[in-house]
Structure 1
Amino acid sequence: MMMLLVVVVASALAPSDVVVMMNGLPGKMGIEVADACARRGMSLAEVALTGKEESAPIEVASTTVKLVEAGTPEAEEAMASVVASCDELGKTLVAIDYTVPEAAVPNAELYARHGVSFVMGTTGGDRAALERSVLDGHHCAVIAPNMAKQIVALQAAIDYAATEFPGAFKGYKLDVIESHQSTKLDTSGTAKAIVSALVSLVDEAPDAAAATDAIAAISRVRDAPTQLEGAGGRLQRVPETALSGHAYHTYGLTSADDSVRFELRHNVNGRRVYAEGTADAALFLARRLAQRQEETPAAGKKKRLFDMIDVLKSGELA
């Protein structure tokens, strides 16, 4: 008698099982990310954290989202309500944060209090405090200064070169200029990270102040006339249609006698590339959470703090 053996294999968490709390609406980046998550099949929570100046509900990704001021008792209640709703429906909740630098740490502490895992796209906050909020909690997070996976892959290549070939550009002068929309208040986190690696290519044993000084020397462009004309040739000219949302970076390495110059540029118009990477990060995080629920507890601590390199290595990209 032949017996049929049926093997049931647990499938990966479906995007439809993921609910995203899109904090930072009605900001342009928040809207772009909400749309990207919807395109991937994830749904939006019907409430989101916002700043003091916003209060009216917003229609985004076919969902009416109530906006609640962050840092208020109402925000605590809203977070608890979203958590309870997802638990009842058997959905996996992930918060995505594109608020403002001063709200990043308080929001991260809110997520910790409610055990909500999050993707932090807000830059300019206290990175050490953000990481502590996760490591001292029981949830997970993807924290990265840049969610564009292509730029992150490029950054990883530069990090590799800095590690494997320190001092390869010894004696060269480093100059960096970055241009973003006028509403971006801080220096680009991506520029800071890439500069930190380039410093090691210029000096095989840089002292602690070298990276700090190089970051402080980054030229930051936020005015439209300079962006439109290309900052005197230091940047590619920004199209007028992209003034409200772009990221143009030029990293230059020039020999001491000015006879040799290398340039690395990455120019982004619009926000979609960051939004798509953020959606990847949210789904990556949700699937890690689902995995943890299925796994038998093992000795030792499991990784809970991730970056976009982890997302890239996972292969779970759109």
Structure 2
Amino acid sequence: MGRMLIAEVVGTTGAMLAGGTAQAATLQGQDLGSLAGLAPLGVTVGNDAVALVQASDVVIDFTAPAVTVRLAALAAEAGKALVVGTTGLDPAQTAAIQAAARQAPIVWSANMSLGVNLLLGLVEQAAARLGPDYDIEVLEMHHRMKVDAPSGTALALGHAAAAGRQVPLDEVWVKSRDGHTGARASGTIGFATLRGGDVVGDHTVMFAGLGERVELGHKASDRRIYARGAVRAALWVKGRPPGLYGMKDVLGL
């Protein structure tokens, strides 16, 4: 994803690459352009996040929760904008991002693609219109290396469905089933997680009623859709007042 972000920034009018950091010592000192398969840019990989934030108008972060929290704190301290595509944050880490957004503009989305964000809106509408007689299941599949489950996008879809029903997701979700579970409880939102191969990301939300089933879904075939959305978010958030924004705000959905 880092390499794709580099290429997307370089290829986007109005954007300029200020720098990049990596924890891996083998990457530090390498030219960012060369890493992305481009001509050398004269900008190398560093390990100083403070310097990177100071040198940038907007920082794009697709890393790990602990790193994201650290970058959010630095962005808040410097008053710089941040775009976050990291998933798998726990409640305390989520609260830290929300706190940082009181001092810096932060775009945070579990999925940066236009198609997925359109799907989120459709799921919320469907949940509201179909009502509680339809059972909701969120099915997702990703590549074998993904570390968090359910995916951030699957949880976002669950939140959208719960919003349509005007209930908190954590009061109705069922994240796993094993053994003799008994009949499905009315009003719950279930999740099923699949992992394997090199699947970029498949998500389907099923509304199962008596005699019919409605399915809304999205299949990603190229990770560049996430880089494209992240750079679009970076261009949008520059100069915005402090606050926590989503891709709905960026795309005007």
CA distance in 1, matches of 2:191, 2:200: 17
Quickly say closer, same or farther: Cα 1:58–1:221, change in 2 above 3 A.
Answer: farther
Does residue 194 of structure 1 match 2:133? no
Corresponding residue number in structure 2 for 1:251? 205
Corresponding residue number in structure 1 for 2:97? 130
Corresponding residue number in structure 2 for 1:102? 66
Counterpart code for 1:189: G
CA distance in 1, matches of 2:174, 2:159: 10
CA distance in 2, matches of 1:146, 1:219: 18
What's the CA shift string for 1:16-70, capped at 9, x where partnerless?
xxxxxxxxxxxxx11112212222121111x32222454241432542443233x
Does residue 180 of structure 1 match 2:158? no
% of aligned pairs identical?
A: 27
1:304 to partner: Cα distance = 3.0
Quickly say closer, same or farther: Cα 1:281–1:205, change in 2 above 3 A.
Answer: closer
1:281 corresponds, among 218, 222, 233, to 233
CA distance in 2, matches of 1:33, 1:262: 35
Quickly say closer, same or farther: Cα 1:254–1:212, change in 2 above 3 A.
Answer: closer
Q: Would you say the 8 A contact 1:195–1:214 is kept in 2?
A: no
1:207 to partner: Cα distance = 6.2
| Larger relative contact order, structure 1 or 2 (CA cutoff 8 Å, min sep 6) | 2
Structure in which a larger fraction of residues adopt helix: 1
Corresponding residue number in structure 2 for 1:145? 110
CA distance in 2, matches of 1:124, 1:64: 34
Query: Residues 146-295 of structure 1: matches in 2 within 5 Å?
Result: 146-163=111-128, 165=129, 168-186=130-148, 187-199=150-162, 204=165, 206=167, 209-213=170-174, 217-224=190-197, 243=198, 246-255=200-209, 257=210, 259-286=211-238, 289=239
1:217 to partner: Cα distance = 4.4
1:308 to partner: Cα distance = 0.8
Q: Where in structure 2 are there 5+ consecutive unaligned residues?
A: 177-188
CA distance in 2, matches of 1:205, 1:79: 38
CA distance in 1, matches of 2:85, 2:5: 10
Corresponding residue number in structure 2 for 1:12? none
Q: Where in structure 1 are there 5+ consecutive unaligned residues?
A: 1-28, 84-92, 225-242, 293-301
CA distance in 1, matches of 2:78, 2:143: 34
**Please, what TM-score do these two structures have when normalized by structure 2?**
0.79
Q: Would you say the 8 A contact 1:199–1:210 is kept in 2?
A: no
CA distance in 2, matches of 1:307, 1:193: 11
Matched residue count: 230
Counterpart code for 2:122: A
Q: For the pair shown, which has the larger CA radius of gyration, 1 or 2?
A: 1
Quickly say closer, same or farther: Cα 1:154–1:223, change in 2 above 3 A.
Answer: closer
CA distance in 2, matches of 1:305, 1:199: 20
Q: Would you say the 8 A contact 1:162–1:198 is kept in 2?
A: yes
CA distance in 2, matches of 1:309, 1:162: 18
1:247 to partner: Cα distance = 0.8
SS at the partner of 1:40? coil
**Please, what TM-score do these two structures have when normalized by structure 1?**
0.64
SS at the partner of 1:147? coil
Root mean square deviation of aligned Cα: 2.7
